[in-house]
Amino acid sequence: MRRLLCALVFSALAFSQERAIVVRAARMFDGTSDRLAAPGVVVVQGGKIQAVGAAAAIPAGAEIIDLGDATILPGFIDAHTHLSWPYYPDYRQQIIDGQRKTIAEQALDATENLRKTLMAGFTTCRDVGSADFIDVGLRNAVASGKIAGPRMLVSVHAIGATGGHCDDDTMRYGLRPEFGVEQGVINSPEEARRAVRFNLKYGADVIKTCATGGVLSLNDDVDTPQLTQAELDALVDEAHALRRKTAAHAHGATGAKRAIRAGIDSIEHGSFLDDEALRMMKEKGTFLVPTLIAGWWIVQQVNQGKLLLPPPVVAKARAAVTAAGETFHKAVDMGVRIGFGTDAAVYPHGMNATEFELMVEHGMKPMAALKAATSADAELLGLAARLGTLEAGKLADIVAVPGDPTQDIRLTSKVKFVMKEGQIYRRD
């Protein structure tokens, strides 16, 4: 009897997994077109998209989900997150918790960050800075179905120079040396290659480096270069030889240009890029991942007295946010390839879609902003064959927002439907 029941349960599960789902809405953005299609129809079966468009054949017995006056889009992608880190409105409390909380507790806390991000419509994230292999554990737990969250590409630990923005606690928070552990710290081309190999040994999907100073670190200037040309050359060469993409945190122009010359795949932030750097990016096809929300959030929260940061950090944030908007507008006008990334954890997790509003506010067309978070990011992450567009054969990552986001980009923050690989996680 027990065997019969198990067989029946297995058969029922198999049937439910294979049953087709048809998602309908008033309109649809496929990830590449310059206009919305109407109506929107996507047929899903077995975790993949089977057909798209009004002429798609509807399988017999399919479940019909009619979302009404909404727009169907590919699942959003965020190419710059820190999902293992919580958001803290108090700089000092972040230091205390970072020292007192066990790694296990930090990982469990992070599962809520993943849930919020997925519910916001972001079905894929590139995580570009973690510690203690928490990002690897989160990625694997999501992939094996143990927790709900976006699929993750992880960097294990960002790589940078001694005393630089990627030199962990002892630099970032000004702690005494005995309180810090040097992870990902390099000071020569040989050490750069070793750090890349170490990260790949422990599961890195992407290699992240810090080419300049940062906003939230205490002991460096935000725009100064922090790695030599030879170090960046070695890091990128090693990563590419091992078939991994690369990303460089770079606010300043000098450090960014070194990374671009080395063949970096994306510049993260890019606040103070000059015209030469932007021209180099255009020529080489280097992506800019602007993370506009990070500086915007810091400044507005400090102004409202809701975020406690050291005065040097506030000064750097104010300078960066002013320059970043101007640089982004110029990059759009020059035709630099733009990806979508937010620096999640600098602001509360789940607010990722605010980046769409800021991109449009600083000169990007709504349709181009939507492409940045779908087909463009899929290309940047090396996932274009599987994700980023609504096409037959792609993984069934689908989100929907009310109304028409090309007329009001703020609607991207009101996601009402989330599907990842055919499984529905949100259905308002």
| Mean pLDDT, residues 238-242 taken together | 98
Poorest-pLDDT segment among 142-151, 217-226, 392-401: 217-226
Task: Check if the beta carbon of residue 230 is closer than 8 Å to that of residue 247.
Answer: no
- Is the pLDDT score of 279 beyond 70? yes
Strand, helix or coil for residue 159: strand
Q: Which pLDDT band, with edges at 50, 70 and 90, does 17 fall under?
A: low
pLDDT value at position 37? 97
The boundaries of every CATH 3.20.20.140 domain in the chain are: 76-380
Q: Which pLDDT band, with edges at 50, 70 and 90, does 179 fall under?
A: very low
Q: What is the reported pTM?
A: 0.92
Q: Which pLDDT band, with edges at 50, 70 and 90, does 317 fall under?
A: very high
Write the single-letter amino acid at 63.
E
Q: Superfamily assignment of 76-380 in CATH? A: Metal-dependent hydrolases (3.20.20.140)
End-to-end CA distance of the chain: 40
Write the single-letter amino acid at 351.
M
Percent of the chain having pLDDT more than 70? 92
pLDDT digits (tens, 9 = 90+) for 333-342: 999 999 999 9
Domain 17-74+389-427 matching CATH 3.40.50.450: the answer reads no
- Is the pLDDT score of 88 beyond 90? no
Alpha-carbon torsion angle 107, 183, 213, 110, nearest 10: 0
Residue 255, CA distances (Å) to 17, 146, 209, 233, 267 in order: 49, 40, 11, 12, 10
Question: Which two tokens mark 29?
Answer: 């953005």
pLDDT value at position 93? 75
The boundaries of every CATH 2.30.40.10 domain in the chain are: 17-74+389-427
Using the Cα atoms of residue 318, residue 324, residue 326 and residue 329 in order, give the sign of their dihedral.
negative
